[in-house]
Amino acid sequence: MKTIDDYNFEGKKALIRVDFNVPLDGDFNVTDTSRIEAAKPTILKVLEDGGAAVLMSHLGRPKGQANSDMSLSHIVEKVSEIIGVQGKFVNDCIGDTAEAAVSELQDGEVLLLENLRFYAEEEKGDSGFAESLSQLGDIYVNDAFGTAHRAHASTTIVANYFPDAKCFGYLLAKEIKAIEKVMQTGEKPVTAILGGAKVSSKITIIENILDKVDNLIIGGGMTYTFVKAKGGTVGDSICEDDKMELALDILKQADEKGVKIHLPVDVLAADAFDNGANTQFLDVNQIPEGWQGLDAGPQTLENFKQVILESKTILWNGPVGVFEMESFAKGTIEVGNAIDEATQSGAFSLVGGGDSVAAVKQFGFQDKVSYVSTGGGAMLESLEGRTLPGIAAILG
């Protein structure tokens, strides 16, 4: 696996695909800088070698049309502030204007190209567009895990034009190694904690990881599909009736593979999907009509904690309750605390997937786990066992 450490960028221009698809407020201020900060080490490596960095990214979904609200010009000052080098900006990403800006770029300088998705050819994976991008650098560096599952021009196709000069940036290399550690090389016992609302959205992941894990903790809304499939009463809890057969099949497969499945035994139930609803703790199998399970109960959390603390490798994908509401956040916080404790004792912990990453940030766990993935969809597809096109393009 070629990484940025395999190259010396002295006198070279690195064409770096970063993921600067960051949230902006109404005044175009960046409200979450974590993606820019994550790309900083790769950019600095190029500059410290004595090279120049040409950064390309998308922002939002302009659908192939130039749109001033989604211009990357809005983030130049924030990127400059984080990297510690005043960045330049060019209002195109291919053609004469972009090429002229690159040719004027000096060693030690950073140039941010305009939004790639102002061209429909980017998302189409157009080879002509990719070839135009390739004119802007000597070495291609992919450091955008968040888009590695897309076969877009800048993430995949452009690599074809750098047959002997392409590599992973630090961030993407770390993502690949973190997933490998969970899926292939992790010290046992390996525990996966899967939460979220629906079995259907996690089925491919479950089927893929059953051969890799020793324990599978199931929480969140998909609990109730399993509980009802096993004959329990779930009241008004979210439940995919058409996936109950699938839930039973998962339990059977796990049993055959020697994987222990840990389901909640009690829940915090509410009489409405509302932060101010009436609540009570109930046996997970005996939730009456008019009530719905919205968080894990105390005995469940104690059970989950014991499994987590005995684990050496931990994957967390999905909250175990409706953490967005304060009344139902305790379960997710307690799972985070247990993972924190296990990590301090030497376990490797990987958090990935939009909701779990949001929870980790909300409750301040991002520095208490081993690794927080930067890519939602890319992370999920990796866990499903797919080879991501953006990764395959560098390896090929």
Q: What is the DSSP letter of 265?
A: S
Is the distance from CB of 376 to CB of 146 less than 8 angstroms?
yes
Is the CB of residue 65 less than 8 Å from the CB of residue 118?
Answer: yes
Of 64, 377, 385, 386, which is the active-site residue?
Answer: 377
**225 and 243 Cβ atoms separated by less than 8 Å:** yes
Q: Which of 35, 88, 166, 330 is catalytic?
A: 35
Phi, psi of 317 (to 5 degrees): -135, 95
Rounded to 5, what percent of the chain is helix, strand, coil?
Answer: 45, 15, 40
Which residues contribute to the annotated binding site for ATP? 202, 293, 324, 353-356
Residue 273 token pair: 């999907």
Instruction: Determine the straight-line distance between the first and last CA of the chain, rounded to whole angstroms.
Output: 10
The answer to whether 63 is a known catalytic residue is: no
276 is catalytic: no
| Annotated binding residues | 19-21, 35, 58-61, 117, 150, 202, 293, 324, 353-356
338 touches 372 (CB < 8 A): no
Q: Summarize the annotated binding site for substrate as residue ranges.
A: 19-21, 35, 58-61, 117, 150
**Sign of the torsion formed by the C-alpha atoms of 156, 103, 45 and 93:** negative
Catalytic annotation present for 35: yes
In sequence order, the 6+-apart residues with CB closer than 8 A to the CB of 69 are 28, 60
| Residue pair 196/318 in contact by the 8 Å Cβ criterion | yes
The one catalytic residue in 354, 361, 385, 386 is 354
Q: Which of 2, 124, 198, 386 is catalytic?
A: 198
| 84 catalytic residue (yes or no) | no
Q: Which residue, among 23, 14, 17, 85, has the nearest Cα to 56 in the 3D structure?
A: 17
Q: Which residues lie across from 15 on neighbouring strands? A: 54, 140
Half-sphere exposure of 205 (CA within 13 A, CB side): 27
Residues belonging to the active site? 35, 198, 354, 377
